[in-house]
Amino acid sequence: MAKKPIGTPMRRTDAVSKASGAEKYLSDMHFDGMLYARMVRSGIPRGIITDISLPPLPDGYRFITYKDIPAGGNNELVMIKKDYRCFAEQDVRYVGETIGLLVGPDRSVLVDLLEKISISYEEQVPAVTIDEGLACKGGAFVGENNLFCDFTIHKGDIDSVLADAHRIFEDEITTGWQEHVHLETNAALVMPDGDKFVVYASAQCPFYVRKSIAGLLNRPYEDIVVRQTTTGGAFGGKEHFPDVLAGPLLVAANVIKKPIQLVFDRHEDGAYSVKRHPSRTRFKTALDEQGNILGMDIDVVYNAGGYESCSYVVLQRGVFHATGVYNIPASRVRGRAVATNTFPSDAFRGFGAPQTLFAVETHLCHIAAALGVDPLALKSKYFLRQGDPTVTNGHVFEKVVLPEMLDQVLQASGYEQKVAEYKRGSGKGIGISFYNHGGAFTGNGEQMIIKAKARLHKRADGCVEILVGSTEMGQGLQTAFTKIVADTLGIGEDKVLYPNPDTANVADSGPTVASRSTMIVGKILEGAALEMKERWNESEDFFTEDEYKHPEGHPWDQNTFQGDAYIAYGWGICAVEVEVDPLTHEVVTKGIWSSHDIGVPIDELVVHGQINGGIIQSLGYAAMEKLDFHPKKGFKQVGLSDYIIPTSMDFPSQGASLVHNPYPYGPSGAKGMGELVFNGASAAFIDAVSRAVDKDIRAIPIPPETLTELMA
Amino acid sequence: MTRDIQFVLNGKEVAITCDPLKRLLDVLRDDFGLFGTKEACGEGECGACSVLKDSKIITTCMVPMGSVQGCEIMTIEGLRETARGTCIIEAFADGGAVQCGFCIPGMVIAAESLLASNPDPSEEDIRLGISGNLCRCTGYDLIVESIRLAAKRGKGLW
Amino acid sequence: MVETCYIPKDLAEALRIRKETGAHPIAGGTDLMVSHRRGTGVVPKFPWPVMIITQLKELQKIEVEDGEVSIYAGSTCHEIEASELVPYQVRKAASLMGAQSLRNLATIGGNICNASPKGDLPVPLIMLDARVELVSATGKRQMLLDEFIDGPKRTRLQDDELLSRIIIPQPKAPFTYLWYRKIGTRRANAISKLSMCAAATVDDNGIIVDFRSANGASGPKVARSRAVEETIIGLPVDRLTERLPAFLDAYDAILAPQAMPQYRRSSTRRMLEFFLSEVSRRPDTTIIE
């Protein structure tokens, strides 16, 4: 019987359970004697706590602070650095920083008590914007210059290029904060279990959680057992942030010795959880007399907020994507992550790449407009090709199928006819953007830091259990891994089980981030499955395990940032057509088309759903997700009535296609895709609107009132 | 202060003594153990807390129990036991509508509410019908197609 | 804080309770249950006694008497949207409030008494010179809706009164042209950033015999000025275009300088200009879009 291609859609393993309301998420779980927790947070952006005044606490209610960390424990949440504190002690760095946890049995009493807690501060002058952070307003609070990191990458000799240029194009593009709005808010629960602790968390990385919080009680990792609960969306917002819930809960559970649940309400998630880094990207682009691009001098600054968390890694990715899908002959890219007294910025789908990709795409559109040429004609001249040098003097190893993808998008969208028909400023416009995403961890992260493993268990009942630390958060990983294992073993998909990971039982496969899971962990699983297949009849019940093998030939120097920052890329093209209402300046999107190279789809329906979702989230980023920051009070739009995400009526159905381009080191040829699909739609939308109103746009988001100001 | 409130829940007559201002959402989840109805925004914006009240879709996070006296409430747990509910759930599963799943019970309720008044909806009708349900994962397209699939498969059910 | 919640069985009992305790009515709960929420698993808390009136059938009807449409205060947005007795613009405004679930719960009484400057229903109602009827245990009275809503979140409801119905008078002649536009925060399930409602009546001689226009979310109250409207009334339609700039300047002056002033002013101007230039073309359709 001919084997059907792996991409043939299968019914997702979790679909019926979720659709019928049977699937339990963290807030649906109850434990005997469970208590509730509410977070007490800083109400000011910067200052010293001078007094915490509590109302009298009834029996069974406790206020937990840094003072409850036992001797030998450290008041730290270990993320990538150790700079994040579990609790504030004397000083506070941002509105929303954790001061304590109020714990008790009745949620109504907790709210009454919360309202009566009063905290006094000696306030200091906060730095909130990128400019204020760089200027060290109020005095630097990180190092001497408020910089968490500052590094530069080079390709060629940009200074000579700039000196000899016929024309230098300067530009500045900015992007704002974005909130994840995973429909399930942040949630965690910690309970004692004998002499260990069990953490239930709506989280992407169970192993990250235990690594982060074990030191609070000075315990070995194995004493903190982390169980991921079915996660209602994450998008990077639950990569490190669960530590911020689990840490205080662990300290509390150690004192109170009962299960304690903490679930944020939507306003807490909006006001007091991590966001996408706002960015400012400045260009000096050198052109010759014929309008050829000779080089780009790029300055990238990200607003990192009060703690570093993963900002260095986010910035790296932003910097390594700063010249997009183009082979720019010479470049220099400087990246800085600046500390400000705002809620720490953190992982969010794309992880730094969306900001710089948006910037370079939009910048090139401005150049095209100034030269009087179509952006497509300008951009396609510089498409990277197999073997070309990258911005870090590495190489592109795969065949770059942008030309085939472009054909698909041009055909589907009618781009060329519409460009001819819709004059600039006519109120109608079509835009197009090009983007990529380096798969998996940057540089040598996979082989030097993560060293992922995957484990399989063949059971006596004939089922095979997948034991990896990777998590399903909606992206379809449970289904994808089920397929890879079933396909490799030649057994039915219904015989493969993949429970939510429990750190006590599964191999550490690394975090579920960086679009690495299918490509890296899926490949390791394939290896473990191949071994299991060979040994199938050996025993009724046995385990196989495999680990990451780094392909040879990808030099990388983490000190000079030279070499192959990524060993493979996903590629994307998106076209968006809009019409601007002449009376209200509301933008109506008339069409969305895309093509992607993700190697080979593991499941076409899962891939289709991810493309749709990533594109809509990216369009929201550009069109409507305004998040203002009040210097004293923090984020302004914190609920779903004022933080505006797209509804079913805001954008039309999409035309989506793929170009198959199998990747030799991915399972069945697959590459990563989860973030790629976010990286381009925002620039295509802005390109379209720009053409429709004949104005360069330099910042997103652009709700109608902002467009009006631009057009005035 | 409390009141005795009688209503019909998923086809069964039930009674509860509670504060008449207690939210229907909390009663369903905490008192009746029905977890399919979710809280995702607390202000009626997202639709994850939707149920049918006398066959009309409502958001339970803003409904005081005092206004539920004598009403018929159907949650996802009740809907999934019906032929219509099963049809929608199966179509969602086959159509790729489900990703993280948190919005989906609300979407199933919205689909039922739509098909009950319009058994053969156009794409525009469907998009309007679910416009009160926010989803962050799917971008809506496959949910729309799944509802269309349910309408096609369920001819005669609505 | 008082935590009393009454559930009257009929309007007479509701009025008695209102008089004795001043209890605030909760109809759909879509404003009050949200504005006073206290989180998951916690009962909303009000600083005054409340009474649930969702169940009062006397307040749930829409009828016509002497050519005037009465929408009783407990009518939901869905019922208003669906009723052919209700004028077009009021139905349109109701249909664009929130989402279906909200429209099944939210009442016209609640929307009016909440008196948010961003409220949707008062805009066409004020344009139509609607009146409110207020009842108490001792009697009833009426006043213009435009007077009843006093300012942001403020009405002239007395402590012993309930809003009973909204009465929409019939215009002397049916409107020739109608316009309604809401600019929301997005294309569905949206709070209003700006809404505009306009109507014009042109007689057989081509004279504009009636013109009205009202703006929502443009200031502390719905913006409407009969004085400005009257500068066009009596004009022949073909003289509209030359009067337009002066009219638009005068209209601009009635919009308050609030947040997004530039956007509100310019959008209103463009919408009015469009509506009136369409009117001057004398198209066949009543509803201008």
Residues B85 and B38 in one domain: no
Q: Give Cα A677 distance to the centre of its chain.
A: 12
Half-sphere exposure of B154 (CA within 13 A, CB side): 27
A160 within some domain: no
Chain C environment of A710 (Cβ under 8 Å): none
Residue B5 sits at the chain A interface (C-beta within 8 Å): no
Asked if A712's CB is within 8 angstroms of C263's CB, the reply is no
A142 within some domain: no
Residue B141 sits at the chain C interface (C-beta within 8 Å): no
d(CA C142, CA C134): 6
CA distance A645 to chain C (A): 8
Residues A413 and A536 in one domain: no
Residues A599 and A664 in one domain: yes
Residues in chain B: 158
- The shortest CB-CB distance from C37 to any of B42, B47, B131 is to B42
Residue C260 sits at the chain A interface (C-beta within 8 Å): yes
- pLDDT-above-70 percentage for chain B: 100
Q: At what angle do helices A681-693 and A704-711 cross, to 10 degrees?
A: 40
pLDDT score of C3: 53
A231 within some domain: yes
| Helix locations, A327-421, DSSP H | 353-371, 375-380, 402-413, 415-421
For chain A, residues with pLDDT lower than 50 are: none
- Of A435-444, A702-711, C25-34, C263-272, which one has max mean pLDDT? C25-34
The DSSP bridge pattern shows strands A293-305 and A330-339 to be parallel
Which residues is B5 bridged to in the sheet?
Answer: B16
B103 within some domain: yes
Residues A426 and A466 in one domain: no
Chain C environment of B113 (Cβ under 8 Å): 100
Chain C environment of B45 (Cβ under 8 Å): 189
Residues A421 and A511 in one domain: no
d(CA A530, CA A485): 9
Which CATH number is A541's domain given?
3.30.365.10
> Could you say which residues from 581 to 640 on chain A have a Cβ atom under 8 Å away from some Cβ of chain C?
582-586, 588, 624
Residues B9 and B70 in one domain: yes
- Dig out the tokens for A373 from the structure: 């040429």
From B78, B113, B139, the end of a domain falls on B78
Range of the domain at B23: 3-78
Q: What is the 3-state secondary structure (H, E, C) of A365-384?
A: HHHHHHHCCCHHHHHHCCEC
Reported ipTM exceeds the 0.90 cut: yes
Asked if C41's CB is within 8 angstroms of B30's CB, the reply is yes
From A547, A570, A601, the end of a domain falls on A547
Residues B66 and B129 in one domain: no
Which residues is A587 bridged to in the sheet?
Answer: A580
Chain B environment of A16 (Cβ under 8 Å): 89-90, 93
Residues B114 and B62 in one domain: no
Residues A467 and A605 in one domain: no
Chain A environment of C263 (Cβ under 8 Å): 585, 704-705, 708-709
Q: Give Cα C4 distance to the centre of its chain.
A: 30
Residue B45 sits at the chain C interface (C-beta within 8 Å): yes
First to last CA, chain B: 42
Give the closest residue to A293 by CA, choosing from A325, A329, A267: A329
pLDDT score of A626: 97
Asked if A266's CB is within 8 angstroms of B40's CB, the reply is yes
- The shortest CB-CB distance from B100 to any of A17, A232, A266 is to A232
Name subunits touching A (3+ CB pairs < 8 A).
B, C
B158 within some domain: no
pLDDT score of A4: 82
**Full-prediction pTM beyond 0.95?**
yes
CA distance B21 to chain C (A): 6
Residue A494 sits at the chain C interface (C-beta within 8 Å): no
From B55, B78, B101, the end of a domain falls on B78
> Could you say which residues from 82 to 141 on chain B have a Cβ atom under 8 Å away from some Cβ of chain A?
85, 88-90, 92-105, 108, 123, 126-128, 130-141
Domains in chain A, number: 3
Residues B96 and B67 in one domain: no
B32 within some domain: yes
From B20, B54, B78, the end of a domain falls on B78
Chain A environment of C278 (Cβ under 8 Å): none
Residues B42 and B88 in one domain: no
Range of the domain at A186: 31-124+180-271
Residues B64 and B17 in one domain: yes
Residues A673 and A605 in one domain: yes
B21 within some domain: yes
d(CA C27, CA C56): 9
- The shortest CB-CB distance from B89 to any of A20, A27, A230 is to A20
Domains in chain B, number: 2
Chain B environment of C39 (Cβ under 8 Å): 42
Residues B68 and B18 in one domain: yes
Instruction: Compute and round to an integer the Cα radius of gyration of chain A.
Output: 25
The residue behind tokens 């306030």 is A123
A151 within some domain: no
B62 within some domain: yes
Which CATH number is B73's domain given?
3.10.20.30
Between the CA atoms of B112, B117, B119 and B120, what dihedral angle is there, to the nearest 10 degrees? -120
A5 within some domain: no
A39-78: b (≥16 Cβ within 10 Å) or e: bbbbbbbbbebeeeeeeeeeeebbbbbbebbeeebebbbb
Query: Which residues does C198 contact at the CB level (< 8 Å), separation at least 6?
Result: C127, C178, C179, C211, C212, C213, C214, C271, C272, C275
Give the closest residue to C35 by CA, choosing from C44, C26, C43, C22: C44
Q: B87 to each of B9, B105, B111, B126, B150, how far by Cα in Å?
A: 21, 14, 11, 16, 6
Residues A184 and A214 in one domain: yes
C-beta separation of C232 from C244 below 8 A: no
- The shortest CB-CB distance from B131 to any of C46, C52, C189 is to C189
Residue B101 sits at the chain C interface (C-beta within 8 Å): no
Asked if C7's CB is within 8 angstroms of B131's CB, the reply is no
B63 within some domain: yes
Residues A505 and A589 in one domain: no
Q: pLDDT grade, residue B62 (50/70/90)? A: very high
Model confidence pLDDT, tens digit, residues C117-155: 999 999 999 999 999 999 999 999 999 999 999 999 999
Asked if A180's CB is within 8 angstroms of B100's CB, the reply is no
Residues A459 and A384 in one domain: no
- Say which DSSP state A222 is in: G
Q: A507 to each of A208, A224, A453, A455, how far by Cα in Å?
A: 13, 15, 6, 6
- Dig out the tokens for B36 from the structure: 């399919």
Residues A375 and A455 in one domain: no
pLDDT score of A434: 98
From A490, A523, A547, the end of a domain falls on A547
A&C contacts, CB < 8 Å: 68
The DSSP bridge pattern shows strands B72-74 and B3-9 to be parallel
Residues A261 and A292 in one domain: no
Mean residue pLDDT across chain B: 98
B99, B109, B149, best to mutate vs chain A, most A CBs in 10 Å: B99
Which CATH number is B130's domain given?
1.10.150.120
Model confidence pLDDT, tens digit, residues A271-299: 999 999 999 999 999 999 999 999 999 99
Residues B10 and B73 in one domain: yes
Count CB-CB contacts under 10 A for residue A4.
Answer: 9
Answer whether residue C187 shows pLDDT above 60: yes
A150 within some domain: no
Q: At what angle do helices A242-256 and A206-213 cross, to 10 degrees?
A: 50
Residues B56 and B96 in one domain: no
Asked if B44's CB is within 8 angstroms of C100's CB, the reply is no
Between the CA atoms of A664, A667, A668 and A674, what dihedral angle is there, to the nearest 10 degrees? -100
C7, C26, C79, C100, best to mutate vs chain B, most B CBs in 10 Å: C100
B124 within some domain: yes
d(CA A444, CA A672): 17
Residues A354 and A485 in one domain: no
